[in-house]
Amino acid sequence: MWQFVCCEVQGSGHKKSRIPCQDKTFMLAKNGVYVIALADGAGSASLSHYGAERVVRDISVYIAEHFLELLNCNDGRKVKEELIEMLQTNLTEEANSRKCDVRDLSSTLLAAAVHENDFILAHIGDGVIGYLDGNELKVASMPDNGEFSNVTTFVTSSEALASMRVFKGKLNEKDAFVLMSDGTEQSLYHKPTKKLADVVKKLMHRTCLIDSEVMHAQLTNAFSSVISRNTQDDCSIAILARPSQVLCPIDALGFKERQDLYEIASSGRYVNRQISRYDAILALTDEPRSLQQIARSIHLKPKYAKKRIEKLVSLGLLKKQAGFYQKVKAV
How confident is the model over 205-229, as a mean pLDDT? 94
> Cβ–Cβ contacts within 10 Å for residue 229, how many?
13
Residue 119 pLDDT = 98
What are 114's strand-pairing partners?
34, 119
Confidence of residue 256 (pLDDT cuts 50, 70, 90): very high
Residue 148 pLDDT = 47
CATH assignment, 3-241: 3.60.40.10
The answer to whether residues 56 and 37 touch, using CB atoms and an 8 Å cutoff, is yes
> Cβ–Cβ contacts within 10 Å for residue 192, how many?
5
How confident is the model over 4-8, as a mean pLDDT? 97
Instruction: Please give the full DSSP string across 225-256, using - where no structure is assigned.
Output: HTGGGG-SS-EEEEEEE---SSS--GGGS-HH
Does residue 226 register a pLDDT over 50? yes
Confidence of residue 43 (pLDDT cuts 50, 70, 90): confident
Question: Which residues lie below 8 Å from residue 158, measured CB to CB, with a gap of 6+?
Answer: none
User: Where does CATH 3.60.40.10 sit in the chain?
Assistant: 3-241
- Helices 291-298 and 271-284 pack at an angle, to 10 degrees, of 130
CA 3 centroid distance within chain? 9
Does residue 107 register a pLDDT over 90? yes
Residue 146 pLDDT = 54
Residue 24 identity: K
Does residue 63 register a pLDDT over 70? yes
Distance, CA of 152 to CA of 164 (rounded, Å): 11
The answer to whether residues 63 and 111 touch, using CB atoms and an 8 Å cutoff, is yes
Residue 111 pLDDT = 98
CATH of 250-327 given 3.40.50.300, 1.10.10.10, 3.30.70.920, 1.10.3720.10: 1.10.10.10
What are 94's strand-pairing partners?
none
Instruction: Tell me the percentage of the chain whose pLDDT exceeds 70.
Output: 97
The answer to whether residues 236 and 38 touch, using CB atoms and an 8 Å cutoff, is yes
Q: 107 — phi, psi (to 5°)?
A: -160, 165
* Ramachandran class of 322: left when φ > 0, alpha when ψ lies in -120 to 50, beta otherwise: left
Does residue 270 register a pLDDT over 80? yes
User: Where does CATH 1.10.10.10 sit in the chain?
Assistant: 250-327
Instruction: Tell me the percentage of the chain whose pLDDT exceeds 90.
Output: 88
How confident is the model over 292-300, as a mean pLDDT? 96
Residue 179 identity: L
Q: 89 — phi, psi (to 5°)?
A: -65, -45
Residue 265 pLDDT = 87
Confidence of residue 218 (pLDDT cuts 50, 70, 90): very high
**CA–CA–CA angle 201, 206, 210 (5° rounding):** 170
Distance, CA of 211 to CA of 205 (rounded, Å): 12
Question: Cβ-count burial of 112 within 10 angstroms (0-12 exposed, 13-18 middle, 19+ buried)?
Answer: buried
Distance, CA of 105 to CA of 88 (rounded, Å): 10
pLDDT tens, residue by residue, 136-192:
999 999 998 654 456 799 999 999 999 999 999 999 999 999 999 999 999 999 999
Q: Which of 72-81, 123-132, 262-271 has the lowest mean pLDDT?
A: 262-271
- Distances, alpha carbon 277 to alpha carbons 256, 274, 311, in Å: 15, 5, 12
Q: Which of 40-44, 78-82, 201-205 has the lowest mean pLDDT?
A: 40-44
Give me the sign of the Cα torsion angle 145, 146, 148, 153.
negative
